[in-house]
Structure 1
Amino acid sequence: MKLLFIFFLLFTITLAHGIPLGPTPDMPTVSSDITVISALPMPYPEEIAVDPTETFYLTGTANGYVYKVLLDTNEISVLLTPRDFNPDYFADFTDEEVAAHCTGAQNETHLLEPVCGRVLGIKFYTNAKKVYIVNTYFGIWEYKFKTNGKDKIKNIFKQTGVFLNDVYRIGDKLYYTNSHTSVQRYAVVSVVLDPNPIGQGSFNVFDMETNEHKTLVDGLFFANGITVSSDKKFFYISETDAARVVKYEIATGETSYLVQDLPVLTDNIYLEKSEACEDREDNDEICDNDGTLLVPGYYRVEELDNLLRDFTVMAEFLTQNFYTVVIPTFKTWIKPVGTICEVDEATGEITKVIFSNNFKFLLAASAHKLSGNQYITGSVFYPMVFRFQLNE
């Protein structure tokens, strides 16, 4: 049966070549001039949300928790646990038992991921009074910081069997990405190395008034992080496997690319608005798209690029033993370097590449720019959150 599937797959992918990737960029040999301010051990962080007081909330992909960190003191506390997302399963567990169940060798085999959950996207709404959280196994959730006696957390909707990733709310609509229609997060390597000539990721909207879902863009190769443009007329969608950022016009549904052929396989993205935009927003004026898009990611290497460019080669590679060949080989392609690209929102030009190959920050999955030319970043592949200053 497996051979029949492989033959069918090989026949199908002859209709297409591979994911559109330009030439593999040369990896820099010199790191950017960085001063590390703090390096906090955290369980493989995915996305970071920073509120106006520069307190940040962080999703941990190792154990299904959400954490709160005070930047001035580095004090870490737990905001949400797997019990909040899966209360029936953990009803009789103490806090210590939940932590033991969802952390450690047994959980690292991924057998417990669908039970403990994995929290990915996190975005603030209404001046940080609410936060929307994507648990890829238990759907999208709303957390209120001030509740007046009401429940702090509620499940907005559940979608199982898919790879939910990021979320953004505008009005009564929740926009979200689905990285894959059938493969779940514990098999993330199968999402990256999917030889299907049609991308299995999508960008979607959920209407909280009517409870209706709608797919806005499909065929994406690993749909990942999302953010909205300065003028709030466009969404920017990170397309990991294709190393590019998709631009979606909300009014018309038309798509284009803000930037292509990035030096990184992109992850979460964050828009830093210009000072002019912030001044205009204070006066209720419409902003121009003159911000800076922060695009963290995993520096592209030739071996992985070549595989992604050719669906036939990818399918043949996947016929090898998944656990003894595919996964170990894949891990060698994820180089332990840190990279954040800054992209001009108006032109789509890469204006800066912050790079480190000396372990000052590693494998950037998320990035925010703080005051004083400081940045904060974390990675799903490295159990640390780094706050650093770029010396220019």
Structure 2
Amino acid sequence: MKLLFIFFLLFTVALTSGIPLGPTPDMPAESTSLTLISNITLKYPEEIAVDPSETFYLTGTADGYVYKVMLDTNAVSVLLTPKDFNPDYFTEFTDEEVAAKCTGDQTLTHILEPVCGRVLGIKFYASGNKVYIVNSYFGIFEYKFRNNKFEAVFEQTGVFLNDVYRIGDNIYYTNSHTSIQRYAVVSVVLDPNPIGQGSFNVYNKDTKEHTTLIDGLFFANGITLSSDKKFFYISETDAARVVKYEIATGETSYLVEDLPVLTDNIYLEISEECEERDDNDEECENDGTLLVPGYYRVADLDDVLRDFSAMAEFLTQNFYTVVIPTFKSWIKPVGTICEIDEATGDITKVIFSKDFTFLLAASAHKLSDNNYITGSVFYPKVFRFKLNE
């Protein structure tokens, strides 16, 4: 099935000469029923993991730290530092010296990130009271709150690791690119290779083996599990779609294509009925809601993504004076959150506001009472807001 999926990608490339994207969507209507509850200044937040007490743990992608935030007080504390992920390098550094090095000039990501790391994916598991954490440079790690034990699940360098999901002894993860590291993320988005370099993989903790389940993905990103626990949903950023992977058969399809956003992390809100059935170990239907945050598509970026030769030509220009500023101008203005019906793949809601900048949404999590938390890797804020319905 994996080979069939690759052939499908090749066929698509042959037809389009670029990443398959439909017409660039119009800007969404602004959501007028939003109430801002709070905003917390954090270093360009990436993914959010919420525990049952609604404390949340947040990967701070600008400096290689992981933070803990108390929702009732907005108090922020450090859970993990670059020294935890890269102890050999920082063995003689004090905490202050680590912070001084890793919270420096963010234009030097090509120097800082391979040393300080870049923490992306994080998932909380009530069973065992622990989180799994992806450091895009060093591997995947486990942190147990019960005894504050922190250890590597596996170490891996030279690739662009992104998100993680655990089932039993299997650790599922995405690799956004096989050879380009995270600091060159612009080159990952604008990769003129006609075959995507991202993949969806599994690591078995018992056998210590890695297996690629899907390759040829255009910027493999966030992962979440379906309501019935039979499928994975994988965010394919450049292609603006969500891939659906059946665990039992390896069959690959799409839950939704041609989204109005270049997708980032994704999160599934299961229905109340499903929660009740899950408690009784009864089979659940796929009737949840998928939260899909991302960067709202703009015509100039879409045009380049649709044409591999245009991407290659664009990347021949001066990277720091032309490529990066132009790329930032494409993604800076707008972003949003889509809600997707898990059963149909239909977009049921688009959340967008100009009043506060969750516009560049990298992550979204829905709490009780229509409260949402969202953060962005391009804006140093985490926003909590209420959707008034």
TM-score when normalising by structure 1: 0.94
Deviation at 1:96, TM superposition (A): 1.0
Q: Supply the distance in 1 between the matched residues of 2:87 and 2:172 (Cα, whole angstroms).
A: 26
Contact 2:28 2:350 in 1 (8 A): no
- Contact persistence 2:51–2:126 (CA under 8 A): no
The change in CA–CA distance for 1:14 and 1:324 in structure 2 (over 3 A counts) is: farther
Partner residue in 1 for 2:179:
182
Give 1:207's match in structure 2, choosing from 204, 207, 226: 204
Distance 2:106 2:298 in 1: 32
Structure 2 residue 135 is the aligned partner of structure 1 residue 138: no
Deviations 1:202-248 (Å, cap 9, x if unpaired)?
00000000000000000000000000000000000000000000000
The residue number in structure 2 matching 1:235 is 232
* Matched residue SS, 1:303: helix
Kept in 2, the 8 Å contact 1:46–1:378? The answer is yes
**Aligned to 2:38, what secondary structure does the other structure show?**
strand
Query: For residues 1-392 of structure 1, what are the structure 2 equivalents within 5 Å?
Result: 17-105=17-105, 108-127=108-127, 129-147=129-147, 152-392=149-389
Aligned-partner SS, 2:310: helix
Question: Matches of 2:325 and 2:261 in 1, distance apart?
Answer: 21
Q: Gaps spanning 5+ residues in structure 2: where?
A: 1-12
Question: 1:380 and 1:128, CA in 2 relative to 1: closer, same or farther beyond 3 A?
Answer: farther
Distance 1:309 1:154, change over 3 A: same
Q: Secondary structure at the match of 1:25?
A: coil
Structure 2 distance, partners of 1:281, 1:159, is 35
- Partners of 1:24 and 1:107 lie apart in 2 by 30
Partners of 1:79 and 1:310 lie apart in 2 by 43
2-side partners of 1:304 and 1:62: how far apart? 24
Paired with 1:242 and 1:269, the residues of 2 have a C-alpha distance of 15
Shift of 1:32: 3.7
CA contact 2:265–2:292 (8 Å) conserved in 1? yes
Identical pairs, percent: 80
CA shift for structure 1 position 282: 1.3
Task: Write the letter of the residue equivalent to 1:352.
Answer: K
CA contact (8 A) 1:132 1:143 kept: yes
Cα deviation for residue 14 of structure 1 reads 8.2
Whole-Å separation in 2 of the counterparts to 1:113 and 1:296: 24
Q: Sort the Cα spacing of 1:33 and 1:335 in 2 relative to 1 into closer, same or farther, 3 A.
A: farther
Contact 2:139 2:156 in 1 (8 A): yes
Following the alignment from structure 1 to structure 2, what is the Cα–Cα distance between the partners of residues 109 and 79? 22
The amino acid that maps onto 2:336 is T
CA deviation after TM superposition for structure 1 residue 112, in Å: 1.3
CA distance in 2, matches of 1:329, 1:84: 35
Structure 1 counterpart of 2:89, one-letter code:
Y
Give the SS at the match of 2:49: strand
In the alignment, the residues of structure 1 paired with residue 202 and residue 259 of structure 2 have an alpha-carbon distance, to the nearest angstrom, of 27
CA displacement 1:81-111 (0-9 Å, x = unmatched): 0010011111111111111110022774431
Would you say the 8 A contact 2:199–2:212 is kept in 1?
yes
Question: How many residues were matched structurally?
Answer: 377
Mapped contact 1:337–1:358 kept (Cα < 8 A): no
Q: SS where residue 238 of structure 1 aligns?
A: strand
CA contact (8 A) 2:52 2:126 kept: no
Compute the displacement of 1:31 (Å).
3.6
Which residue of the partner structure matches residue 4 of structure 1?
Answer: none
Query: SS in structure 2 opposite 1:287?
Result: coil
**1:39 corresponds to which letter in structure 2?**
N
CA shift in 2, pair 1:14/1:233, >3 Å: closer
Q: Aligned partners of 2:178 and 2:301: how far apart in 1?
A: 23
Q: Which runs of 5+ in 1 are unaligned?
A: 1-12
- The whole-number CA distance in structure 1 between the counterparts of 2:98 and 2:211 is 35
Give the partner amino acid of 1:61.
T
Whole-Å Cα distance in 2 between the matches of residues 169 and 14 of structure 1? 36
Q: Aligned equivalents of 2:356 and 2:125: distance in 1?
A: 34
1:28 shift after superposition? 2.4
Give the aligned residue type for 2:79. Answer: L
